[in-house]
Structure 1
Amino acid sequence: MARSNLLDTRTTSFGDLIGNGKIYRVPPFQRDYSWKEENWEDLWQDILIIRNKPDSSHYMGALVLQSSDVSDKEFTVIDGQQRLATLSVIAIAVIEKIQNLVEREKCKEANQERQEILKRTYLSDRDPRSLRYSSKLILNENNNDFYQSNLINLRRPRNIRSLSKSNQLLWQAFQYFSSHIGELQNLVQDGEKLAEFLTNIIAQELLFIQINVQDELNAYTVFETLNARGIELSSTDLLKNYLFSQFEGPDDLQEAQRQWRRIINTVQMEKFPEFLRYYLSLQRTRVRRERLFKIVRDSVKDGQQAFDLLDQLENYSSLFVALGNSDDDFWRDSPDSQHYIRELELFRVKQAYPTLFAAYEKFSPQDFVRLLKLVCVLSFRYTIVSSLNPNELETLYNRVAIGIMNGEIVVPRQVFENLRSVYVSDEKFSQDFSFLSISTKGQKRKLVRYILWKLEIDASERNDISEDGFSIEHILPESPTEDWRRAFSEDQIEAVTYRIGNLTPLEPSLNRQVGNEFYAAKSDAYQQSVYNLTRNIAAEEWTINAIASRQRQLAQRAVHVWRSDFQT
């Protein structure tokens, strides 16, 4: 499709859309109705503002439509079904109020005529055989029957609790708007004013940017730039719809739906594109998020290929989740892996996921653990201490993953050789660590605790030290007293308070005891500590030079602590 057609856009209103004789279909497998009271409340408040300010309007976001036939009479709603469904529910609520007037014999004939006109305009004409109304908006397979049978025909469900969650939400939306319209006393007693409310405000002053696309690929591309209002269709839904469209028989479709639910329940909807990108990186380089749909569409052409993809995704889904959670049951029988997974969590490292996917599949359990350690060491040096560009890491890990899957890389040492260019040298690592400063506030506090813990284990040559058993002591305190302020300028305090050289592990009781005291008072307590790093603080005075000197010593120890097994 030509670029000019990709963004065939126009400003349109709900009335222009729904009153033009066209039909709008939500794909059968698209997400169910999911708006809740907070969404209804936001929309209702916007409507009230428009009602109280004549000639005003409200922007409802982008609406993405795909033409379903050559006559351009039917459209598939790619994005916007939540908003269209909700506005249709409001129209139904208004028509219900006019029906109430008819039943109460208030301007009966005029209100009957208004009701018929509004139904034909915003819902649909009555079927001459069944005498029921069917909607110009056709919802997905889970919502459409309830929408058509109950809402459009103003039939209260017999057992609300037996409805699916999404159909309950549709009914609750109807009740919400019916109730709030009923509170507008000057409106609800007058059929003409009710019709005017629907026709002039709901239908004309709630505006969309309508985007017409010709196929799913262009719809997916548009998704990368959309930020529509509310809980809208995601790129994951679009991928799901495409995969499901490849199945011809109902049995295959039902099995695919069950498999999809298992995958999404494991991975979670919002993380699926990330997961899919890592999986696809096992076969190809530079997989960008905005190309996911094109890659899947080009590689999946029938039901068998769709099943193959779902099988692979299900196979890797548990590993994907476990790589981000050291407490996952996945690691129950692999405590050594659990230790390194926790470090990856702490470092927030995900670039290595494709490599770890491949290694878990191809390496022995022992080699997988060795690879985990290598990734942790490399990440700590490259990302945490030297703060280098992570983009290069992603490219290399991508290539290594493909090499492992192809059988070109079969042991962790080969992984190291392929990543040697991003393994920070001892000299640079030591230099960068000598100036490392990390705030002990918020999430970073865990990282500081981890660093001190690792350094203490190395210094004391003990493995029984608890990472959570000590307090982080700021030798120059975070809240310095006047004695400290005479020894350090404000600029110096800001520069060195969170330097690693100014931090040390200390028993909580001793930490409370020393508080913000000056160094001379603290140093006696330090000698009582069980922590080697703390007892070895030997400076007579705590100065800028003392902090720098101690941090250089810690940097030399860090070179030994965070070192690859394959480094020569």
Structure 2
Amino acid sequence: MSQLETGTTNFLDLVGNGRICRVPSYQRDYAWSDEQWEDLWSDVADLHASEQRRHYMGALVIERLGEREFRIIDGQQRLATLSLLALAVLAQLTALADQGVEPDANRERVMGLRNRFVGEEDPVSLQESSKLFLNQTDDPFYQDCLVQGRAPMNPQGLPKSNKLLWGCFCYFRERLATVEAFTHDGGALAGFLNETIARQLLFIVISIDDALNAYTVFETLNARGLELSSTDLLKNYLFSLVQLPSDRETLQRRWQHLVATVRQERFPEFLRYHLLCQHRQVHRQRLFKMVRDTVREPPQVFTLMQAWQQRAELFSALSDPYHEFWIERADCQPLIKEWVLFDVYQMTPLLFAAWERFSAADFARVLKLSTVITFRYSVVSQMNTNALELIVHDAAKGILDGRLQSPAAVFACLQSLYVSDEYFQQNFALLEIDTSHQRKKLAKYILARLEADGTGKPCDADTDPATIEHILPENPSDQWAALFPPERWASAIYRLGNLTLLETDINRRIANLNYDEKKPTYTTSAYGLTRAIARIAPEWTPAFLQKRQMFMAQRAVHLWREGEA
């Protein structure tokens, strides 16, 4: 049984007495920047200037590798930054010696502090050994430049994380130069490192001798600064299970391709939808635990990676109407445009399953079904997505298990999500879309579909030059108050019945006119939806707005319908 030990320690205890700290080669790159550097500097500067004796830096999770060596599971950002602060102090002491300020004493201080906090010099190669080893991206730069005291030849050409390491070192050099005592008193500067930083900054260390339990402990912690995301945590765990160098190289290649495909920030979303194909409920906060509970051996890691890779490309394609997947599937591209526009992705597990089990034609049919249900259920009716996910899981699992073998069978499984015509019409008749934000595209899409349905002529929201006209303007003048009560303005401006398509130049010209002045212009518009306004509403009042929107809702029932959408 693994032993869990906890205790309080300081920075000197972590790196002193010949101890070596290793960041796993696969762990994420250095990521702290100005905000975190400033926070740390503020803490240590206040600590140094006050009578306060200690400051807690949060928890570290480490895995013991030997008597004097450990692997950092959580805490690499803090330890790396403190090491850079120590290097900045040493650089400042060296500069004082070079300037003739107590040269012998300051050089002796540098030597003693380097041995204590950075590493020891090899008597043969005269190269500095290190107490801290970073990941595969950052360690070469850290060892060859920062530890050896050499400035990079081309800082702007460095990888992002290396730039941050160099920027951190330079930041602390600049801050140290602002403390008057540190510019002429090497003893004060050495004391700042040897006492304030080394002994007064305290950590709660959770030490364990088993990698699996170390990651379990980490899952519950909130670390200072930039925390590991669930993606980072999962990556580190999977890599910790793979020991052979060749296997790790293979895993690294596959992981990089996977994350590049689904994108780092969307990986938790991808993983959640992947798991929902088999599990009825998947909480984002429990993603790591669900994977950890089923993957404990190297073969399971590669089996899992293969399953992810099979779905990653489709996940990416579902967010891109111009993805190569849709080049030979012309019937899918307009549906993907709708899918992206709706920005509601709970149907993703269903599409994963349909892609893997159905023909191209049946997949397109399921995709069409998913967009209709999403529009009725989520976009217009704004119903509970938790209930939706449970039913989508049932359908996805039914496809994968072979119980649902056709789009018709899938629709029967999803029937409870298909909002009834009556309820959909009621909700559509009250629909509001704030066109001052991103949802403007959604409003134009709906109006364009209604326009095409009413005139029988194509009207593509993406390419049609029309703009959205607000019949009651977004900033009504007082003259509107006679027919449209001011207390109703706020709730009416973004009602769908108050919106219409209009030529750009005309819209600009009549934007804030009253209705009697706008009405003749509407009758000359190229858009049938707009020409009909004058016939429906001799004057613009809340009642006529509602009448127009009800008419729109009646047509919407037939436009967004299973079998006809």
What TM-score does the superposition give when structure 2 sets the normalisation length? 0.88
Counterpart AA for 1:312: A
5 Å-filtered alignment, 1:300-379, equals 300-379=295-374
The answer to whether structure 1 residue 274 and structure 2 residue 269 are counterparts is yes
Bigger CA drift: 122-131 or 171-180?
Answer: 122-131
Identify the residue that residue 492 of structure 1 maps to in structure 2.
488
State how 1:255-270 maps to structure 2 within 5 Å. Answer: 255-270=250-265
Q: What does 1:170-189 correspond to in 2, within 5 Å?
A: 170-189=165-184
1:295 aligns with 2:323: no
Gaps of 5+ in 1: none
State the match for 2:538 in structure 1: 540
Does residue 1:531 correspond to 2:527, yes or no?
Answer: yes
Whether contact under 8 Å (2:558, 2:564) holds in the other structure is no
The answer on 1:25 being equivalent to 2:13 is: no
Residues 362 and 562 of structure 1: CA distance in aligned 2, closer, same or farther (over 3 Å): same
* 1:393 to 1:31, Cα distance in 2 relative to 1, 3 A: same
Structure 1 residue corresponding to 2:558, chosen from 557, 560, 566: 560
User: Please, what is the CA RMSD of the aligned residues?
Assistant: 3.3
Match of 1:477 among 443, 467, 473: 473
Aligned to 2:500: 504
Moved more, 391-400 or 238-247: 238-247
Letter of the 1:565 partner, please give it: G
**3-state SS, counterpart of residue 24 of structure 1:** strand
Query: Is the aligned partner of 1:284 residue 2:275?
Result: no
Q: Label 1:465 to 1:162 Cα distance change in 2 as closer, same or farther (>3 A).
A: closer
SS at match of 1:336: coil
The number of equivalent residue pairs is: 561
- Whole-angstrom distance in 2 between the partners of 1:109 and 1:558: 86
Give 1:35's match in structure 2, choosing from 8, 32, 38.
32
CA contact (8 A) 1:416 1:566 kept: no
For 2:391, the equivalent position in structure 1 comes to 396
d(CA) in 2 for partners of 1:444, 1:35: 35
Partner of 1:415: 410
**Separation of aligned partners in 1, 2:371 and 2:6:** 48
Quick check: 2:36–2:225 contact (8 Å CA) kept in 1? no
The DSSP-based 3-state class of the residue aligned with 2:472 is: coil
Residues 1:535 and 1:397: Cα distance change in structure 2 (over 3 Å):
same
Separation (CA, whole Å) in 2 of partners of 1:172 and 1:18: 23
Shift of residue 351, structure 1, vs aligned partner: 0.8
Given the superposition, is the C-alpha separation of residues 105 and 488 from structure 1 closer, same or farther in structure 2, using an over 3 Å criterion? closer
1:229-248 → structure 2 map (5 Å cutoff): 229-230=225-226, 232-248=227-243
**1:217, 1:294 within 8 Å by CA — same for their partners in 2?**
no
Q: What's the CA shift for 1:150?
A: 4.4
Q: Secondary structure in 1 aligned to 2:215? A: helix
Counterpart in 2 of 1:152? Answer: 147
CA distance in 1, matches of 2:53, 2:453: 69
- Tell me, what secondary structure is at the counterpart of 2:332? helix
**3-state SS, counterpart of residue 469 of structure 1:** coil
2:94 matches 1:99: yes
| Alpha-carbon distance between aligned partners in 2 of 1:545 and 1:443, rounded to the nearest angstrom | 28
Q: How big is the shift at 1:69?
A: 5.1
* Cα distance change, pair 466–120 in 1 and its aligned pair in 2 (3 A): closer
Q: Which amino acid aligns with 1:351?
A: Q
- Choose from 222, 229, 250 the match for 1:226: 222
Counterpart in 2 of 1:199?
194
AA aligned opposite 1:509? D
CA contact (8 A) 2:451 2:459 kept: no
Residue 255 of structure 1 deviates from its aligned partner by: 1.9
Correspondence list, 1:52-201, <5 A: 55=52, 60=57, 62-68=58-64, 74-102=69-97, 106-108=101-103, 110-124=105-119, 133-155=128-150, 166-201=161-196
CA distance change for structure 1 residues 333 and 39 in 2, over 3 Å: closer, same or farther?
farther
In 2 relative to 1, CA 209–323 (structure 1 residues): closer, same or farther, beyond 3 Å? Answer: farther
Post-superposition shift, 1:442? 0.8
**Which amino acid counterpart does residue 544 of structure 1 have in structure 2?**
P
SS, match of residue 469 in structure 2? strand
Cα–Cα, structure 1 residues 305 and 223, in superposed 2: closer, same or farther, change >3 Å?
Answer: closer
Moved more, 509-518 or 411-420: 509-518
Q: 1:161 to 1:478 in 2, by over 3 A?
A: closer
Partner amino acid, structure 2, of 1:475:
I
* Structure 2 CA distance for partners of 1:37 and 1:479, relative to 1, 3 Å: closer
| One-letter identity of the residue aligned with 1:541 | E
Task: Return the offset for 1:546.
Answer: 1.1
Could you give the per-residue CA deviations for residues 106-147 of structure 1, whole angstroms, max 9, x where no partner exists?
Answer: 445543443344234423456678675533333223433543
Alpha-carbon spacing, 1:444–1:205, altered in 2? closer, same or farther (3 Å) = farther
For residues 240 and 20 of structure 2, what CA distance do their matches in structure 1 show? 21
- Which whole-Å CA distance do the structure 2 matches of 1:20 and 1:246 have between them? 30
Pick closer, same or farther for the CA change 1:57–1:330 going to 2, 3 Å. farther
Q: Distance in 2 between matches of 1:513 and 1:148?
A: 66
| Structure 2 CA distance for aligned equivalents of residues 66 and 422 of structure 1 | 48
Q: Which AA in structure 1 matches 2:254?
A: Q
2:181 touches 2:189 (CA, 8 Å); kept in 1? no
How far did 1:209 drift?
5.8
Inter-CA distance 108–509: structure 2 relative to 1 (3 Å threshold): closer
Aligned counterparts of 1:444 and 1:57: Cα–Cα separation in 2: 51
- Of residues 200-209 and 549-558 in structure 1, the stretch that sits farther from structure 2 once superposed is 200-209
TM-score between the two structures when normalised by the length of structure 1: 0.88
| One-letter amino acid matched to 2:481 | R
- What is the DSSP-based 3-state SS (H/G/I as helix, E as strand, rest coil) of the residue aligned with 1:485? helix
Query: Quick one: which amino acid aligns to residue 325 of structure 1?
Result: D
Structure 2 counterpart of 1:30, one-letter code: Q
CA distance, structure 2, for counterparts of residue 410 and residue 170 of structure 1: 55
- Separation in 2, partners of 1:520, 1:299: 69
One-letter code aligned to 2:501 = P
**Counterpart of 1:277 in structure 2: which amino acid?**
R
Gaps of 5+ in 2: none
2:281 and 2:390 in contact (8 A); partners too? yes
Q: 1: CA distance between counterparts of 2:438 and 2:220?
A: 30
